[in-house]
Amino acid sequence: MRTFLAAIALCVAGFAVSAAPTKRLAPVADAVIMADGMPKKLSEFGFFTDAAGWKPNKGVELYRLNSALFTDYAEKYRYIYVPAGQQAVADGDGRLEFPVGSALIKSFGYKIDGKDRLLETRLLLHRADGWIALPYVWNAEQTEATLKVAGTRLPVRFTDPSGTARDISYAVPNKNQCKECHSLSNAVVPIGPKMRNLTHDTLDMLLSNAMLEQPSRDHPPIPDFGNTAMPLENRARAYLDINCAHCHNRQGSASNSGLFLTYEEESPVHLGVGKRPVAAGRGSGGFAFAIAPGEPDKSIMMHRLKSLEPGVAMPEVGRSLVHEEGAALLSEWIAEMDK
């Protein structure tokens, strides 16, 4: 009798558990993405299911790049959101065109005191009238990020890949500074997710999730510039493409320089080889050529890459440190060029 009653109790308990309503997570807030305003809190978009911004919501997918922009050694976590039933499309150059309602989400952080901490999350939202860029800064408790239209600076102490302790004033760009990099023909656009720079796993994920229309042609990938098994020139060109070509292209904000640093560029002169500056001013450092073959220490490109002086340093936005590894890579590439 006791066994029978125990079995009945177990069944009732099981029924109670199975009958309990399952808590449904709120979906991404499409209406907030599309609205005209600028939400004060990152959580209003519903991109993450946790307050700390580590667990992406349904439809928000982590993606990775073959080569990534240097930003003071910050770790970056990139996500794509495409509205259900819609797809991104690759144009003839491999640039992804996202449907209205899409969002690109990029969080920046460091390992501080042994813990991964986020400093900021930048959004690119595709609204009916175009893309808008919004920067959000995380609080000390790591429970919310708040809109900082005017940008800000954050003191950060971290250890770089060489094991050196660094103290920096980390710059969160203001809304207008976002346009300096994310600009093509004077319109704000995404710059990272291109066919050639998305990892193989990322492309598979986008296609299998029906977030990307099957491309009509192949786009050979650029290499990871840190992969020493790849040819030196390919690595150097990949570095220039992701760190410089968002401005230095024929439609970019630096198009008047005549220096075009995209991975596909074929003209040595447009890449800077033996090219005299158009309007570098004191940024030239007194040197004659953007790239002096065989002489990195006499090349304007290296002078600006190694500088931290405002008006000289390149890139102009996004760093307060010299990227030692990137400078070494480009220096080696230039040194091996025939004079």
Mean pLDDT of the region 174-196:
71
Confidence of residue 136 (pLDDT cuts 50, 70, 90): very high
Contact 49, 25 (CB under 8 A): yes
Q: Is 86 buried (19+), middle (13-18) or exposed (0-12) by CB count in 10 A? A: middle
Rounded Cα distance between 313 and 283, Å, is: 8
**pLDDT more than 90, % of the chain:** 71
Among residues 141, 121, 96, the alpha carbon closest in space to that of 42 is found at: 121
Q: Is 316 buried (19+), middle (13-18) or exposed (0-12) by CB count in 10 A? A: middle
pLDDT at 187: 64
CA 62: distance to chain centroid? Answer: 12
Say how many C-beta atoms besides its own lie within 10 A of residue 284's C-beta: 17
Say how many C-beta atoms besides its own lie within 10 A of residue 315's C-beta: 19
How far is residue 316 from each of residues 67, 75, 290, 292, 296, measured CA to CA in Å? 19, 20, 16, 22, 20
pLDDT at 28: 97
Rounded Cα distance between 207 and 306, Å, is: 40
Q: Is the pLDDT of residue 202 over 70?
A: yes
Among residues 222, 220, 223, 267, the alpha carbon closest in space to that of 248 is found at: 267
Q: Is the pLDDT of residue 152 over 90?
A: yes
Confidence of residue 113 (pLDDT cuts 50, 70, 90): confident
pLDDT at 182: 58
Rounded Cα distance between 151 and 149, Å, is: 6
When the pLDDT of each residue in the chain is averaged and rounded to a whole number, the result is 89
Backbone φ and ψ of 334, nearest 5°: -65, -40
Residue 46 has which token pair?
């519903």
pLDDT per residue as tens digits for the range 97-110:
999 999 999 999 99
Rounded Cα distance between 190 and 181, Å, is: 9
Q: Is the pLDDT of residue 138 over 90?
A: yes
CB burial string 187-200: b at 16+ within 10 A, e below: ebbbbbbbbbbbee
Rounded Cα distance between 174 and 86, Å, is: 31
pTM: 0.87
> For tokens 């010299």, what's the residue?
322
Contact 130, 120 (CB under 8 A): no
Backbone φ and ψ of 329, nearest 5°: -65, -50
